[in-house]
Amino acid sequence: MSSKNNQDPATPELADTEQPFISHLVELRDRLLRIVLVVAVVFLALMPFSNTLFSMLSGPLMAHLPKDSSMIAIEVASPFLIPFKLTLFLALFISIPWVLYQAWSFIAPGLYKKEKALAIPFIIASTIFFAGGAIFGYKFVFPEAFVVLLGFSDETLVATLFVKDYMPFFRNMLLSFGVVFEVPVIVTFLAGAGIVTWKQLLKFSRWWIICASFISMILTPADVTSMVMMLVPLVILYYVGVACAYFISVFQKKPAN
């Protein structure tokens, strides 16, 4: 009897399941490479301005330091590494629309037609709200947070900060406010995809205020000002998402002409 006749009947089925899995891995690799390539191009374009960018983005802190205070680099490589890391972070930040597009393109084949129709609006809205949250944090929250956190400095307690400690603070706060401002986009997408209704979202709102309070406490420094300045947008933006969900339900109920 030939080996062909002795073949396990389950083997073709396993081969059929392995092929899509491998093709998904190949596609994921290709999309990750595209993301890395674009981030690298943006990074190389920004690198000549790394020191200028660092001076600009550390402005909110430097403006509130006492006259005799400054940020200190205690490691030999810090004057190079800190602007380098900041520029890399900004390159990734600027590339977010491309990252979102690649992520959406990867998962789109598994979505329904109605969900696919939300792709472009979702990417545009996500980019705008993420950038808006980061700008809000940089322009309004950072200065107020530094006023509170550095307000206890005096002649006997002069603030001397290490430059390597500012970068994690800056990065985490910027990302936190960017993600927080995605709330209406996520809520609207869930409503548009038919996963939740505006009535369910409105009913959940009282619990959302409690959740938003915990999120604000976790993501902000240990001062009430920063926490409130994150809590208020979290609550307002949630209700913006509920309003968008309501209008989506009204639009979907309208009969087609």
pLDDT at res. 2: 47
Inside any domain, residue 225: no
Q: Assign 66 a pLDDT band (cuts: 50, 70, 90).
A: low
Inside any domain, residue 219: no
pTM score > 0.85 for this model?
A: no
* Count of the separate structural domains present in the chain: 1
Inside any domain, residue 21: yes
Inside any domain, residue 201: no
Inside any domain, residue 51: yes
Structural domain boundaries, residue 51: 11-181
Inside any domain, residue 166: yes
For the stretch 245-254, what's the b/e string if a residue is b when 16 or more beta carbons lie within 10 angstroms of its beta carbon?
A: bbebeeeeee
Tens of pLDDT, residues 94-126: 898 888 888 888 877 776 676 677 777 888 888
DSSP 151-173: TT--SSS---EEHHHHHHHHHHH
Owner of token pair 């307000």? 151
Tens of pLDDT, residues 130-187: 889 988 988 888 877 777 766 665 555 556 666 777 778 788 888 889 889 999 988 9
Euclidean distance between CA atoms 163 and 78, whole angstroms: 8
Inside any domain, residue 147: yes
Inside any domain, residue 59: yes
